[in-house]
Structure 1
Amino acid sequence: MIELVLAFQDKDGQYAEHAGVVLASVFHHTSSPVNVHILHDETLNDDNRQKLVDLTTRFNHTINFYHIIIPEDMLQVMAGVGSINAWTQACMYRLLLPGLIPVDKIIYLDCDVLVNMDITELWQIELGNYYLGAIKDQGIMEIAPIINSKGLNPDLYFNSGVILFSLINIRSNAGWYGETLNFFRNFPDTTMPDQDALNVVYGGNYLPLDLRFNLFSLASVDHDFTNKIVHFAGIEKCWDANSIGAELYRNYLNLTPWSEQQPRKAVEVHPAVVHPAVVQKNRKRTSAKRYRKRISNTASHNSLKRRVRKASQGKLPLKRSRRTKISLIDLPSLRLIRLTRTNKGTQNKETNSAPNLPLRKYF
């Protein structure tokens, strides 16, 4: 079973929808069973939570929800890092994964990616003794001096939007959490806190992966998204009306409960739906500060023409849904998860304990 995790805050109710589109893109291409983990806070409302459940069970997968409470010592160091306010605290959740989810390996995805491939390919990569597998950041040379100032090599710096974590290997390093806190103490001027921290703590022992597992949308000159995980890492997001990924986003949206009409038949999603006939680019070199806002290599696309392949009439793969599993984990040493009421019939499994982070299931 593939273990997959997404993390978000949902203050305006929109990011749950974006997360749902990411999941729909995964489910559409992946036949292997997927066990989804959603890291969230109190902003996830009951309606959006139920839609995520409905989407997952419709494709006969399972889903777990984790109400995250960031530990006090991390909150203290975060208070000195002003850039966190430019994002949300949810960007920090991935830093806590080794102490949150008692699995050996897991795939992390940002909510601004679209998965146009069978994610089993990423899952089956052997990490050996590496802490994680990730893809080199495709715009980091813009701010190489800033990266160097933190003791990092821009040639090896990876992006945090798509990561294959070996949690069992990370837990073998008893100091992983302390090293994460020390990064923020030593570099309160970081402007991409989660990504810089991951590179500092794990960058010396990670496996570089093929670019197609995390292709920046603006780095794809021909906009051929076939058999790739496309990351809309800049200012332009795939849910924006004028985005080069807008049609693809809407096709996946039609497979979710957020669609205006629940489709009985699936849209045949063609990863390379966007074929601009004329693309006039005027790339501007952004300042380091602006680029640090999720490495936004801005591009101006004038007279952008799109043509979309006609949808087929294939039936939506609806299966009998299984009871959704809601897993609740107590971490006494970090107090990461607020205990919530489980659904009747929730299934629980015994888990392995991480070093210095006792994991105890509540039944």
Structure 2
Amino acid sequence: MIELVLTINDKDGSYTEHAGVVLASVFANTAHKINVHIVHDDSVSEENKLKLNQLTDSFGHNIHFYHVTVPHDLYEVASGVHKINFWTMASMYRLLLPLFIHSEKVIYLDCDILVNMDINELWSIDLGDRYLGAVIDQGQNLMEYFVSLGLSAELYFNSGVILFHLDNIRAKQTWYEEMLAFLRHFPTVTMPDQDVLNAIYSSNYLQLDLRYNTFAHSDLDLDNKIVHFAGDNKWWDSDSPAAWLYYKFLAMTPWAREVVQEQASEPEQVNIVFDPPPVQPEEAYEPPPVPEIQHVDTPPPPFQEPVILPPPLLPQFTAAAPEIVPPVLESTPVKVKPHRRKHRSSRLRRLLRLRKKLRLRRKLKLKLRRKKALRAKYRTKKRIKLIKRRYVKRRRALLAARKRLALIRRKKLHARKKAVPVKKIHRVRRTA
């Protein structure tokens, strides 16, 4: 059975939907049984959990949910990393998989991944005594950055698609301490989780073929590949070359049809709060040696059950924050004619309505999708094109609304500049 892990931090309410489309692309291309592990925090709603459960049930697979709390010592060290607020604390979840995923190996996928091949090909790769299998990173102009961290540019891999051998990692008893030491010594890392994985495991990993994690570009052949949309242009954007595939797999998910009120089966909820073994006294950090990658036919070390300690006692903050009273600004009253006042208030209402529409564009997007749909296997290309046209139409409507709002603002500014100044009257004195 294939073991698959996705980590979700759903800040804006749409990331779980993207994770569902990734799962649909995996399910549609394989006939093997899959165990899905969803690692998440408090941001994932119960409604989205239900949809993920419905999706896996419809394809005949299993799903497990893990509500994970980052250990106290890792949270303290990661909070000092400069880029942690950009990537969120949930990016540390993939570093902790050996502590609570009790399988021999597992496939990890980011949520901006398109799987357009049989995932069993990746699962069937023999790692031997290596820690993981990954594809070398395809970024450019990063040599100075790698050197500053003591990493090798020839071995640096991307963490968007990883085949973890968890038993081999658990046999490396110092992996957790090395992770903390690296983050303490290099708080200026720009990709914390990926840099940590490279610092600890790049000395003994298997370089996979490029088709298992190919960076997306405009003229890319998407057939029989796992494509990673690592840049700003994601595959759910309307101008993406893979947008038609996104809508194809979206049509297979509960996000493309009305939500079923009755729950098919209760999802297994696992709450995990753990604290790893205490860290040894801090020593001077030395980057691990970087030997050449070679295959060694030696049996893996015996599995050692990880020790899970009770949760740490976090400090309780009870002091209430002082109430901030905004200052009252005095302004000179502006004389406005009654008919002008009525006109401005109505225009202000129109502006507020336009702003409200722009803020709620995500809700409008979800409401417009709630149409009666056929089952996923009976969807046709015509239906997929219709969904795409509706999406493009909504995007154009939003752009038109923004243009109207900008035009109203320009007219208002132009009216202020065109105000007629008061002319001075010069009086002429009469002489007798």
User: What is the TM-score when the length of structure 2 is the normalising length?
Assistant: 0.62
1:235 aligned onto 2:232: yes
Where does residue 136 of structure 1 map in the other structure?
Answer: 136
Where does residue 185 of structure 1 map in the other structure?
Answer: 184
The alpha-carbon deviation at position 359 of structure 1 amounts to 9.0
The alpha-carbon deviation at position 261 of structure 1 amounts to 5.9
AA partner of residue 241 (structure 1): S
Where does residue 295 of structure 2 map in the other structure?
Answer: none
Where does residue 296 of structure 2 map in the other structure?
Answer: none
The alpha-carbon deviation at position 222 of structure 1 amounts to 3.0
Matched-pair contact (CA < 8 Å) for 1:102–1:359: no
Residue 255 of structure 2 aligns to a residue whose secondary structure is coil
Distance 1:163 1:212, change over 3 A: same
In structure 1, stretches of 5+ residues that fail to align are: 263-320, 335-351
Where does residue 149 of structure 1 map in the other structure?
Answer: 148
Structure ID, larger Rg: 2
- TM alignment of 1:75-224, pairs within 5 A: 75-139=75-139, 141-218=140-217, 222-224=219-221
AA partner of residue 244 (structure 2): E
Where does residue 72 of structure 1 map in the other structure?
Answer: 72
d(CA) in 1 for partners of 2:207, 2:147: 19
1:23-74, Cα deviation, whole Å (9 max, x unpaired): 0000000110000000100111010010000000110000000001000000
Matched-pair contact (CA < 8 Å) for 2:27–2:59: yes
d(CA) in 1 for partners of 2:69, 2:275: 12
d(CA) in 2 for partners of 1:151, 1:195: 14
Residue 44 of structure 1 aligns to a residue whose secondary structure is coil
Count, aligned residues: 283
Distance 1:333 1:144, change over 3 A: closer
1:161-205, Cα deviation, whole Å (9 max, x unpaired): 000000000000011111111110010000100000000010101
Distance 1:252 1:356, change over 3 A: closer
Q: As a proportion of its length, which structure holds more helix? A: 2
In structure 2, stretches of 5+ residues that fail to align are: 278-301, 311-432
AA partner of residue 255 (structure 2): W
d(CA) in 1 for partners of 2:10, 2:20: 12
AA partner of residue 87 (structure 1): W
d(CA) in 2 for partners of 1:35, 1:327: 15
d(CA) in 2 for partners of 1:333, 1:203: 23
d(CA) in 1 for partners of 2:57, 2:303: 29
The alpha-carbon deviation at position 94 of structure 1 amounts to 0.1
d(CA) in 1 for partners of 2:304, 2:237: 41
1:244 aligned onto 2:241: yes
d(CA) in 2 for partners of 1:63, 1:238: 25
Where does residue 338 of structure 1 map in the other structure?
Answer: none
Where does residue 342 of structure 1 map in the other structure?
Answer: none
Root-mean-square deviation (CA, aligned residues, Å) is: 2.1
1:357 aligned onto 2:307: yes
Matched-pair contact (CA < 8 Å) for 1:174–1:355: no
Residue 47 of structure 2 aligns to a residue whose secondary structure is helix
User: What is the TM-score when the length of structure 1 is the normalising length?
Assistant: 0.74
d(CA) in 2 for partners of 1:113, 1:9: 16
The alpha-carbon deviation at position 333 of structure 1 amounts to 3.9
The alpha-carbon deviation at position 355 of structure 1 amounts to 4.5
Where does residue 54 of structure 2 map in the other structure?
Answer: 54
AA partner of residue 247 (structure 2): R
AA partner of residue 233 (structure 1): A
Identical positions, percent: 53
Where does residue 286 of structure 1 map in the other structure?
Answer: none
Matched-pair contact (CA < 8 Å) for 2:108–2:162: yes
Deviating above 2 A after TM superposition, structure 1's stretches of 4 or more consecutive aligned residues are 321-334, 352-360
d(CA) in 1 for partners of 2:185, 2:41: 28
1:217-262, Cα deviation, whole Å (9 max, x unpaired): 02xx632111100100011111112122211111111110001468
Residue 11 of structure 2 aligns to a residue whose secondary structure is coil
Matched-pair contact (CA < 8 Å) for 2:67–2:272: no
The alpha-carbon deviation at position 357 of structure 1 amounts to 2.4
